[in-house]
Structure 1
């Protein structure tokens, strides 16, 4: 007699067999699909829009064995996100907001700025990552380095996560990050001069502030402050390794002390994830003998004096520093020219209503 217990066992066996047969006959295209599609929707991207890859490039040497789990954080980040200076800048544009542009809740005042990036850069993959996807994307990208994801997931304020996200996505994938309240004024390919060998450039930043007034400390955190609302990078750049390590270590330190909470932290947002922390990381790189030929016992450091009153491009090692006009045109101070200037590339709206998501601090 077929009892209920026997029927249940038979049903379970049949379901298991069906699932096994389905997985065994998965199509080759499904098995070979890009892992990038796991975390965010790129189903609408055409092949010509994807970042180019050299089909005929020589076979890459095998990776070195991975560092042990207890190796220093920076060492593990370098391994998982190797930096190749001679590679191309990935054709990605990353932004983040509460909703995607396909949502009815995406603000009308943001549609024109957001669309400007796609219109001027039609061959780029342009992704606006919504809030409800950030958690899963960072977990996917940094699953092999769990403390990074733990630090991100533990941050108590959306502005902290928005700040941290820009560094994390550029470290892992490279390309352009720009705040949702920015408008592209020129195509990305026109940001750097034609004669510049891009195989010697791995990072592009702009000057945010160059205050020469005596009370500058009342208005800005650093004498020269670098933009973090628009950044271009190749994956794995040492500046990104540094800032990701710094934020991770500080977040976990405060978490352990029980102060990684709103109103309890012993660092301000600006010094923790914002422009002060970012500017410090850039200057640490410029003065790191591991990357620059700094003479022993030399007292010469790269400081704000090397960038104040800058009006043209300046290359420091593999970093191109753009003048204040490039990412801050039309602010009518500190020497910034208007949006029609040849060096004006990105306009930032400084919309205070967007501080929650985009990490602006002023």
Structure 2
């Protein structure tokens, strides 16, 4: 009888195992939006945002490639506000500092970042290295790689690179012609929890004059020569998707050349598209659903003299990244709120595209 009892016990255990599998399958199928035979990709199920909202996302191996670009970027580069700011400093130039071709006039500013950030990984990437890095980081989103490699001039690639590297890896990006005046750990107020901040951006222009549109693209313009971010921030995801979509559209239309593009550099990849992405985020109810319903505009930042936190974004005054410009209320580089000094010579541009002030 012992063998019979053992057989009965084995059958009971098997039936119980099958029952548990069926129950688990039935429960999971209730939340699927595709056929029950599809296997979900394991992703972090909930990502906290600054407003306390928890966002759920579930993707399936069979249809992930068909998702909109912004959804795939969110899946590949998730955002976690509770993470620390990565200790990276990213810069690009045609040649690396160890090369004899690296300009001597750029060495003091490049070295300032290493000197003030001894615990950071400071990378100055040459053009070819940057291209290989983008291929590696975005191999799962091939249209991003296609768009980056299709851009017709280096200045456009330099603009897109900063958004791409911060979206994928986070840290600080700063143009090679910038000088660090204070370490990044001092950019936030001492009484502000850095775990409540996901992105730090500075004001580039605050032109309080009636003809401002003759000089700048936006009434308040955020600079993109220096940005600090945690990986996956929604603003970076939005600006990357916007630029990639515009690039591939112009490529299909046969106008992706400097002579035929239907957008200027500033509007296509520069501070205009960046500023628009920041304001879209501030006014996106998906992220600010607990805030009072109102429109965030330039009026919220004009004349700003200290840090201002909006959700999980800290906006720095014009002095922080543009000290010494002698206008729009910017103080001198020795001011306590001066963090980064920009050369403003446009040394990364061709000579005929440089500007002063």
Quick check: TM above 0.5?
yes
Shift of residue 135, structure 1, vs aligned partner = 1.5
Report SS of the residue matched to 1:160. Answer: helix
Counterpart residue number, 2:110: 114
Counterpart residue number, 1:317: 311
Shift of residue 293, structure 1, vs aligned partner = 2.2
Counterpart residue number, 1:44: none
Instruction: Find the partner of 1:158 among 134, 137, 154.
Output: 154
Counterpart residue number, 2:50: none
Q: How far apart, in 2, do the equivalents of 1:189 and 1:356 lie?
A: 34
TM-score (norm 1): 0.80
Q: How far apart, in 2, do the equivalents of 1:285 and 1:180 lie?
A: 28
Counterpart residue number, 2:32: none
Q: How far apart, in 2, do the equivalents of 1:111 and 1:87 lie?
A: 32
Correspondence 1:267 to 2:295 = no
On the 8 A contact 2:77/2:231 being kept in 1, the answer is yes
Shift of residue 194, structure 1, vs aligned partner = 1.5
Correspondence 1:180 to 2:176 = yes
On the 8 A contact 1:142/1:149 being kept in 2, the answer is yes
C-alpha RMSD of the superposition? 1.8
Shift of residue 352, structure 1, vs aligned partner = 3.1
Counterpart residue number, 2:20: none
What is the CA deviation profile of residues 123-166 of structure 1, one whole-angstrom value per residue up to 9, with x for unaligned ones? Answer: 00000010121211110000000000000000001100000000
Q: How far apart, in 1, do the equivalents of 2:259 and 2:116 lie?
A: 41
Q: How far apart, in 2, do the equivalents of 1:352 and 1:197 lie?
A: 35
On the 8 A contact 1:96/1:179 being kept in 2, the answer is yes
Specify whether residues 295 and 337 from structure 1 end up closer, same or farther in structure 2 by C-alpha distance, changes over 3 A only: closer
Q: How far apart, in 2, do the equivalents of 1:342 and 1:295 lie?
A: 31
Q: Which runs of 5+ in 1 are unaligned?
A: 1-61
Count of aligned positions: 298
Match runs of 1:197-236 below 5 Å: 197-236=193-232
TM-score (norm 2): 0.81
Q: How far apart, in 1, do the equivalents of 2:346 and 2:326 lie?
A: 18
On the 8 A contact 1:229/1:360 being kept in 2, the answer is no
Instruction: Find the partner of 1:134 among 126, 130, 144.
Output: 130
Report SS of the residue matched to 1:94. Answer: strand
Correspondence 1:344 to 2:314 = no
Instruction: Find the partner of 2:164 among 163, 168, 182.
Output: 168
Q: How far apart, in 1, do the equivalents of 2:289 and 2:277 lie?
A: 18
Counterpart residue number, 1:191: 187
On the 8 A contact 1:270/1:361 being kept in 2, the answer is no
Instruction: Find the partner of 2:285 among 263, 286, 289.
Output: 289
Report SS of the residue matched to 1:138. Answer: helix
What is the CA deviation profile of residues 27-84 of structure 1, one whole-angstrom value per residue up to 9, with x for unaligned ones? Answer: xxxxxxxxxxxxxxxxxxxxxxxxxxxxxxxxxxx98655510110000000000000
Report SS of the residue matched to 2:66. Answer: coil
On the 8 A contact 1:274/1:361 being kept in 2, the answer is no
On the 8 A contact 2:204/2:321 being kept in 1, the answer is yes
Correspondence 1:329 to 2:323 = yes
Report SS of the residue matched to 1:74. Answer: helix
